[in-house]
Structure 1
Amino acid sequence: MAYSPGIAKEISYGSQTLIRIFSNGTVERPSQSAFIPAIPNDPTSTLKFKSKDIIISLFPLIVARIYLPKPNHHHHKRDKFPILIYFHGGAFLYESAFSKVYDTYFRTFVPQANTIVVSVEYRLAPENPIPACYEDCWHVLHWVSSHSLSANYTGMRFPWLNNHGDFNRIFIGGDGAGANIAHNVSMRAGTEALPGGVKIVGAILSRPFFYSSYPIGSEPVIDPNHNIVYSVWNMVYPSAPGGIDNPVVNPVGPGAPSLATLGCSRIIVCVAANDQFRDRGVWYYEAVKKSGWKGKVELFEEKDEDHIYHILHPQSENAQKLIKRLVSFILNE
């Protein structure tokens, strides 16, 4: 009889199993959506964008899917596009820049935003625990920024960025775990310079993954042994100093650097009334407002939605409302 390894650990939310780890080290992600290919340049296509998968780093392996919009009637052919570097959600454990849900979302978003999107395939836990995802996403921001340097720069280049990207309009963003990453990348940008003197203009944090050892707002008191957020955090960052109060997940916890050092000019925090992280998003928004940070922070709330409604159903009325708000944020309208 062939050996069949047992499940060593499993994390489920409701009826959904997020991840299974077997005793032989095998990892399964039952909630992972299917991967779909990019859409390369096709002169006969009526689509309002094209996309391409590229390798950004080999050691470690970091790849991304890049979306380039076709200019609309408001866009002069000599004009450059804003650039949004996006970090997908999935509790640091699953989902992908190549998954159907994210690709479908950007097929909707990119033509409306008239923005280049670099959707990052960062390393996932538990195989690559935090801080691997932060390092990967910082590396991509650094790589994108390097395209602003003079032509004698010898690093890896991607012509869509060189030919069409506006390096005075760099944005970062994400949902859930990806919004957490966007925050931490922005904090690092507040203390470390980027190539060419590039600055992050804005950060989009949609339903950000933040937490602490104490409840805030309307959150119930839950035994850590039965709290899914604790379970996820202990899996994705088992060696975290301070545990669930580590500054990367509790941005106002003990030893956390001041939010006044955030390295961007504008932030929009997007929350949803039926999301378990709703109060955390508002908590973060209020903390940034009170920190002494010199930028502008905004709050957008959808009253009748859950965690990632705009990703799962980008054509819905409420998702379109949010997309239009994010487009206005990027275009500073």
Structure 2
Amino acid sequence: MASRSLFALLVVAAAMCASVASALRSRAATDPNMEVKFDFTPFLIQYRSGRVQRLMGTTVVAPSLDVRTGVVSKDVVVDRSTGLAVRLYRPKHRGGRLPVLIYFHGGAFVVESAFDPVYHNYLNALAAKAGAIAVSHGGGATIRGVALLDPYFLGKYVDPTAQRAWGFICAGRYGMEHPYVNPMALPAASWRRLATSRVLMTVSDLDRLGPWQRAYVDALRGSGWPGEARLYVTPGEGHCYFLNNLESPKAAMHMATLAAYRKNIAVSSTSVLSLTVGCDDCLSVWLISPPRFTKHNKQKTINSVQDLVITLLIPAMNPDTEVDFDFSPLLIRYKSGRVHRLMGTARVDAGTDAVTGVTSKDVVIDAQSGSLAARLYLPGGVPRCEKLPVVVYFHGGGFVVHSAFSRVHSRFLNALVAAAGVVAVAGANIAHNVTMRAGKDGLPGGARIEGMVLLHPFFRGGELVPSERADPELPRRAERSWGFMCAGRYGIDHPFINPLSTPAEEWAALGCRRALVTVGELDTMRDRARMYVEALRGSAWEGEEAALYETGGEGHVYFLEEAAAAAGGDKAEAELDAVVSFIKRSSAAT
């Protein structure tokens, strides 16, 4: 009986829940206070009634003495009629004047405040590290430097969601080309009037806003503005990562860079200040200059110089850590000439692969340099007298990272050799150029190329193709990157990087009978791969087959990722099967 009663209660409760849910849905459909007008998740939701529900940034903390840093904070009301207020952060100091740093908090213009715990913690640490008062100053101040920390910039070619978000933020007053959100739309003359002599831009290389942040620096440098623009890139991190983990090494270096930048400004700024009394040597280090001072204090000068010398020793200002060329996510080159590769450095030794039975062996091609070598992959269980086709594999990596011994390529080649029963030599773009040259000049010993496979080839060009138009700054970055790759020898439309610039009659030199091109649907270079196949089919090439294999829902060289293989890799396995089938058909025809 008790069981029946419990069951009956559960049924009634379920029915009541369903009834309540139905009522809520009906109410949401008719109640403007619950009907969603604009969903700006994860920041806020606006309802038809005008009510706004903020999903983050509503927590505040009171001003206080921070026991970790010794920084004291205090709130100051700026406008009593509206309640507009700011928070001042003052570091421990020996006495004398302090520079003033004005910090504009983030939050996509719609959430968070000057009293948010995230910014409160960050500014306590920054004020202590930089030795500056954070937040405001007036009375004839001059801006000595601007630091843009992962700023929220967009451009004309963004997805519809970003366009709707900006329309909501500015209440529909401004378009995507307005300088408020897209300063790159400004003419060069406007950039030259930027009222500071120093700009620091920090970029997190996984931030989707990165292209516009880098474009800002490029536009500033190319405008004729007489100041200095610096770019600081943090590899492997997303938007504003430094706010959430102040103790991490990357966040610590980010803050050290900002602090060093603040103090370094004095070196280039002292000569332009007009001082009534005193001397330039006694000037403290300023982001924003104070009113003119009237006292001369030699001890303050000594203390300031000591602080400056210590700060200049911070690695962030060293030419060995100052970025000269940012080629993220592949590598970063510093002003000293040092190159930091962000990927492709992990390698594996030659040997027998336990999973596939493939045996690999390294062969030195140039004994003098010792650096030019190849890796041979031989399938297991093949009679010694049996002739095998040879696959020459040119690894990817933007021409600047990875090697024939990289772990990701080794894993892929073990699988390919085992499945296709071929000998592979590890050495897509290069495959095309080598095949072109082989068709013109021939190969030693009468060897011939039966088939060519381009796996997600790296092609670029001076004009955007449809799959690239979401990023209007791509041509500029591609040209700079290609110039870096080829040391400035060739333009962006040279056939080495843009085979589509090759006249149709010259395709006849392509030295193979069959060609297969594979590409991922989400690869920004997908249209160039498709156009390559179309150009080949419509050219003077006399080959038998030009095939295109496209994988839906995947990006550039997804099949090399461990995650793709570990997850069963259905798509990666299907692409490998397509390549194996192509190789076997080519070898069977010989």
TM-score range, shorter chain: 0.7 to 0.9
How far apart are the structure 2 equivalents of 1:269 and 1:321? 14
How far apart are the structure 1 equivalents of 2:555 and 2:467? 16
Q: Which of 499, 512, 522 is the matching residue for 1:251?
A: 499
Partner of 2:534 in structure 1?
286
Q: Secondary structure at the match of 2:323?
A: strand
Shift of 1:19: 0.8
Partner of 2:570 in structure 1?
317
Q: Secondary structure at the match of 1:185?
A: helix
Q: Which of 353, 359, 370 is the matching residue for 1:50?
A: 359
Paired residues of 1:6 and 1:22 also in contact (CA < 8 A): yes
Correspondence list, 1:122-141, <5 A: none
Correspondence list, 1:197-276, <5 A: 197-220=446-469, 222-224=471-473, 227-241=476-490, 243-253=491-501, 258-276=506-524
Paired residues of 2:389 and 2:423 also in contact (CA < 8 A): yes
Shift of 1:238: 3.5
Higher relative contact order at CA 8 Å, sep ≥6: structure 1 or structure 2? 1
Paired residues of 1:11 and 1:231 also in contact (CA < 8 A): no
Paired residues of 1:33 and 1:101 also in contact (CA < 8 A): no
Residue type of the partner of 2:361? Answer: K
Shift of 1:287: 0.6
Q: Which of 97, 100, 108 is the matching residue for 2:407?
A: 100
The alignment covers a number of residue pairs equal to 265
Paired residues of 1:51 and 1:66 also in contact (CA < 8 A): yes
Correspondence list, 1:20-99, <5 A: 20-39=332-351, 47-59=356-368, 61-71=371-381, 78-99=385-406
Aligned in 2, Cα 1:49/1:214: closer, same or farther, shift over 3 Å? same
Superimposed CA distance per residue, residues 188-226 of structure 1 (whole angstroms, 9 cap, x where no aligned partner): 011102112111111110111111111223431755577
Paired residues of 1:91 and 1:232 also in contact (CA < 8 A): no
Identify, as 1 or 2, the structure richer in strand.
1
How far apart are the structure 2 equivalents of 1:68 and 1:254? 36
Shift of 1:36: 1.4
Structure 1 residue ranges (4+ consecutive) displaced by more than 4 angstroms after TM superposition: 221-227, 254-257
Partner of 2:442 in structure 1?
193
Residue type of the partner of 1:116? Answer: V
Aligned in 2, Cα 1:225/1:99: closer, same or farther, shift over 3 Å? closer
Aligned in 2, Cα 1:33/1:304: closer, same or farther, shift over 3 Å? farther
Paired residues of 2:463 and 2:475 also in contact (CA < 8 A): no
Superimposed CA distance per residue, residues 222-278 of structure 1 (whole angstroms, 9 cap, x where no aligned partner): 55577442332121023234x111121111327797112101111101011011111
How far apart are the structure 2 equivalents of 1:221 and 1:317? 29
Paired residues of 1:251 and 1:259 also in contact (CA < 8 A): no
Which 10-residue stretch deviates more, 46-55 or 260-269? 46-55
Q: Which of 300, 306, 310 is the matching residue for 2:555?
A: 306
Aligned in 2, Cα 1:212/1:57: closer, same or farther, shift over 3 Å? same
- List runs of 5+ in structure 2 lacking aligned partners: 1-312
Aligned in 2, Cα 1:116/1:221: closer, same or farther, shift over 3 Å? same
Aligned in 2, Cα 1:320/1:47: closer, same or farther, shift over 3 Å? closer
Using the aligned pairs only, state the percent identity: 34
Residue type of the partner of 2:560? Answer: I
Paired residues of 1:224 and 1:230 also in contact (CA < 8 A): no
Q: Secondary structure at the match of 1:191?
A: helix
How far apart are the structure 1 equivalents of 2:550 and 2:472? 29
Give the TM-score taking structure 1 as reference length: 0.73
How far apart are the structure 2 equivalents of 1:330 and 1:23? 45
Partner of 1:8 in structure 2?
323
Give the TM-score taking structure 2 as reference length: 0.42
How far apart are the structure 2 equivalents of 1:331 and 1:269? 16
Partner of 1:170 in structure 2?
none
Q: Whose radius of gyration is greater, 1 or 2?
A: 2
Paired residues of 2:464 and 2:475 also in contact (CA < 8 A): no
How far apart are the structure 2 equivalents of 1:319 and 1:306? 12
Residue type of the partner of 2:400? Answer: L
